[in-house]
Structure 1
Amino acid sequence: MTALAALQTVTAQVDAFNAHDLEAFVATYADDAVVTGVADAPLVGREAIRAFYAGRLDNPLLSCSIDATALFGDRWVVARENVVNDGVSTETIATFDVHGGLIRRASMLKA
């Protein structure tokens, strides 16, 4: 795995998010992935990720763009994201730990 391959996984995740394709979005995560910073408690596993994002991705006014990235080693991607929900924009710093083409950990820090 290379840093560019890790970035491709993160890009596929954002593309699925913007396409509002829940199954493609969830498929970018490992079975035991952990996502923090989006809910009060960490989301652990694909089913928790699916449950959390199901209603959100039904919203056609939700989108995400990546303004900048930094790659660390062969698996870490740090992205400055702009998430727009119903016309309200939120700047987010997202870190992704990618192993074997799947996101194992993701952490979101919202401005």
Structure 2
Amino acid sequence: MVENLQPKETVRAWVDAFNAVDVTRIANLYAEDATFHDMTQSIVSGRDAIRKMYANEFATFQIFCIVDEIKGDGHWVTLDWKDPNGVQGCGYFEVKNGEITHQRAYWDKASFLMFHTTPSLTN
């Protein structure tokens, strides 16, 4: 947890940790019992499981988040983003006491994989 951060600041810190490929820093932004629901995958529950998920994703893909907009009201924050290839997505974060308690992610997985698939994944 990063103390004294407002919800939008927590999401900005998430983007910074994500782009730095810093698994520890990004995981520490989540509450111990947080849930992450990427609409293209199964729900991941708990900070440790979320840490492992990011470690796997960062080891598998070179990914970067370019912020289009961060907006929010109260403890809900929306992140509209794209990657350097133009793949777009959005994340919905519930942030309480400076920690992400729930995240939902929507993005075009088919377009993403088109740019990031290696020959070994297509055989």
- TM-score, with length taken from structure 1: 0.83
Q: Find the aligned partners of 1:69 and 1:11 in 2 and give their Cα distance.
A: 8
CA distance 1:42–1:60, change in 2 (3 Å) = closer
How many residues are matched?
Answer: 104
SS in 2 for 1:62: coil
Of structures 1 and 2, the larger Rg is shown by 2
Ranges in structure 2 where 5+ consecutive residues have no aligned partner: 109-123
SS in 1 for 2:21: coil
User: Percent same amino acid among aligned pairs?
Assistant: 29
Q: Find the aligned partners of 1:51 and 1:38 in 2 and give their Cα distance.
A: 18
Ranges in structure 1 where 5+ consecutive residues have no aligned partner: none
CA distance 1:89–1:52, change in 2 (3 Å) = farther
In the other structure, the counterpart of 2:26 is: 25
**Offset of 1:56 from its aligned partner?**
2.2
Contact 2:19–2:63 (CA<8 Å) still a contact in 1?
Answer: yes
Q: Find the aligned partners of 1:67 and 1:22 in 2 and give their Cα distance.
A: 23
**Offset of 1:29 from its aligned partner?**
0.5
Which runs of 4 or more aligned residues in structure 1 lie more than 2 Å from their structure 2 counterparts after TM superposition?
55-61
Q: Find the aligned partners of 2:60 and 2:42 in 1 and give their Cα distance.
A: 22
Contact 2:8–2:71 (CA<8 Å) still a contact in 1?
Answer: no
